[in-house]
Amino acid sequence: MNLEEKLYNIYADNKDKLNMDIPDFIREYADIAANSIIKNGIPDKSYENYKYSDFSGFLNNGLEYSLEPEKTNIDLNEYWQCQVPDMDTQVILLSNAWYYEKNNLENKFPKGVIVCGLREAFVKYPEIVKKHYSKYLPQNKDGYIDLNTAIARDGVFIYVPKGVKIDKTIQLVNLIHGFANRAVMQRNLVVLEEDASLRMIICDHTLNRTQNFINSLTESYIGKNAHLEYYSIQNEPDTAALLNTLCFYQEANSHLTNLAFSLHGGSLRNNVYSTLAGERAHSNLYGLFLSDKKQRVDNYTYIDHKAPTCTSNELYKGILDDNARGAFSGKIMVRPDAQKTEAYQTNNNLCLTDTAKMRTKPQLEIYADDVKCSHGATVGQLDQEALFYLQSRGISKKEAKLMLMFAFANDIVRNIPVIPLKEQISGLVDNRLRGEFTECKHCLLNCSRNR
C-alpha cells in the first residue's frame, strides 16, 4: 500500500467517526479531498513546489491520528500562563488542534463576534461556514491541503461582523501533547466582514519530544476595508514537522499584514496564498526564519493580483547555520485585469557556514502592462568588513556576529506595529540567535528545554 492509499484509508476507515454530526457540505468536501489524495498524490521532492520539503518520512512513521476531540484531565488554563506584558490578549487553547472545552470566552468580545471551535461552528453557524469554508484554497492541487480537508475537523472559528474592531489580540495556542508520534490536523476559519479589524497570533507548542506532524490550514476572508494582522510563531522541537498553510482572500481596500516567525523546528513549511480580489487591497507578507543543526525550513508564497490598483509588499529573510537547509519560492501573479498593480518581493538570506544551504526562487508572472513589479533575492555571508569594524572597537567576534544577525533579522521584526509585541518577539529572536531557550519569559511550559 502506498502512502496515498494509507492516508485515504485513514479517512475511509474512520468516516463515520469523522463525519458524525457535521453538515453534508463538509462531508462532501471531505470525500472529494480524500479522492484527490489518491488522484493527485501527496507531494514529495518530485513535485516542483515541494522540491525542498518532504514529509513522507514523517507520514510513514506510524503516526497516531487524532480523529476525535480529545478530553484532557489536566486543566490547560492553569498550565498556560503566556501573556505579552502590556498587551490586552485573549488566549484560546487548542489541544492537539481540538478546541479546548474549557476555553471560557463569554463576554470577552464585542457583541456579534463569534469565537468558537470550528466543529461547533459547523453545527451552529452553517451558513457562514458554508459561504467561506474551502472557498479560498489554491487552484493547484496540494495533497497536504486535501489531507487537511479530508480529516481535520476542528480548530478555531472567528467571525467579526461588519464594522467591529476587536481591540484584544487573539492568541491561539495549539498545545500538542501525548506520548505517541502524533499527526495533528488543524483547520481554522477567520471571517472579517466589511470594516472589521482583528489582530491574531498563532503559536504551536509541543510538550513532548515526539515526532509529530502538524498540518495546519487557515482560511481567511478579509472583507471590504477590513484589517487583519496575522502572526505565526513557530517554535517546535527538532523532531517535529510543521506544515502551515494560510489562504487569504482580500476584498477592496482591505489590508493584510502577515508575519511568520519560524524560530525553531525540525522541518517547517510555510505556504501563504494571498488573493487580492478587490481594488486597492494591500498585502504585506513578512517572514523570518532561523534554522540551524539539521533543520529544514521551506517557504512558499503565492500572491495573486486579480483586481486593479492593488499593492503587495513581500520580504522574507532567513539565517541558516550549521547544516540547515532553507528554501524560498515566491510567485507574484498579475492577472490581465490587474492594471496599476504594485508588487515588490525580496528574499535575503545569510548562510553562516559552508554547509548551510539556501535555495531561492522568486518568480513574477505578469499579464497586465501598466504595473510596477520587482523582485530580488540574495544569499550571502556575514559581512566580514562590518564584523571587523565592530571588533576593531572592542566588541567580541561573537557579539559582533550577533549584532549583525540581529540587525538582519530586525528588518522583519520592526514591521510589528504594536510595541509590546515587537519587544516580545524581538526578545525571542535575540535568544534564538544567542542559542538560548526561545520561550517567552512568562511561559511555564518550558517546552524548548526538552530539546
Instruction: Kindly list the residues in this chain that would bind other proteins in the complex (CB under 8 A).
Output: 383, 385-386, 388-397, 399-400, 403-404, 406-408, 410-411
By beta-carbon proximity to other proteins, the closer residue of 308 and 318 is 318
Supply the minimum distance, in Å, between the C-beta of residue 386 and other proteins: 5
Residues forming a β-bridge with 276:
250, 305
DSSP state of 447: G
Supply the minimum distance, in Å, between the C-beta of residue 49 and other proteins: 32
By beta-carbon proximity to other proteins, the closer residue of 379 and 413 is 413
Decide: residue 152, CB within 10 A, 0-12 exposed, 13-18 middle, 19+ buried. buried
Q: How far apart are CA 129 and CA 134, in angstroms?
A: 9
Supply the minimum distance, in Å, between the C-beta of residue 409 and other proteins: 9
Contact 405, 433 (CB under 8 A): yes
By beta-carbon proximity to other proteins, the closer residue of 293 and 397 is 397
Supply the minimum distance, in Å, between the C-beta of residue 288 and other proteins: 13
Instruction: List CB contacts of 289: < 8 A, sequence separation 6 or more.
Output: 260, 261, 262, 268, 297, 299, 316, 317, 318, 319, 326
Cα(first)–Cα(last) distance of the chain, in Å? 34
Supply the minimum distance, in Å, between the C-beta of residue 398 and other proteins: 10
By beta-carbon proximity to other proteins, the closer residue of 139 and 392 is 392
By beta-carbon proximity to other proteins, the closer residue of 315 and 443 is 315
Residue 376 CB coordination number (10 Å): 11
By beta-carbon proximity to other proteins, the closer residue of 89 and 391 is 391
Supply the minimum distance, in Å, between the C-beta of residue 54 and other proteins: 34
Supply the minimum distance, in Å, between the C-beta of residue 410 and other proteins: 5
By beta-carbon proximity to other proteins, the closer residue of 259 and 413 is 413
Apex CA 409: angle with CA 408 and CA 411, to 5°? 80
By beta-carbon proximity to other proteins, the closer residue of 107 and 392 is 392
By beta-carbon proximity to other proteins, the closer residue of 296 and 317 is 317
By beta-carbon proximity to other proteins, the closer residue of 381 and 450 is 381
Q: How far apart are CA 81 and CA 78, in angstroms?
A: 7
Q: How far apart are CA 426 and CA 264, in angstroms?
A: 15
Contact 124, 192 (CB under 8 A): no
Supply the minimum distance, in Å, between the C-beta of residue 87 and other proteins: 24
- What's the gap between Cα 42 and its chain centre? 20
DSSP state of 192: E
By beta-carbon proximity to other proteins, the closer residue of 19 and 410 is 410
Instruction: Return the C-alpha cell found at 87.
Output: 498587551
Q: Locate cell 480529516: which residue?
A: 151
Supply the minimum distance, in Å, between the C-beta of residue 438 and other proteins: 21
Q: How far apart are CA 451 and CA 445, in angstroms?
A: 13
DSSP string, 309-346: T-EEEEEEEEEE-TT-EEEEEEEEEE-TT-TT-EEEEE
Supply the minimum distance, in Å, between the C-beta of residue 387 and other proteins: 9
Supply the minimum distance, in Å, between the C-beta of residue 289 and other proteins: 17
Q: What are phi and psi of 417, to 5 degrees?
A: -75, -15
Name the CA dihedral angle for 69, 73, 77, 78, rounded to a multiple of 10 degrees.
Answer: -170
Instruction: Return the C-alpha cell found at 6.
Output: 494509507
Instruction: List CB contacts of 219: < 8 A, sequence separation 6 or more.
Output: 132, 133, 134, 135, 136, 137, 188, 189, 190, 247, 249
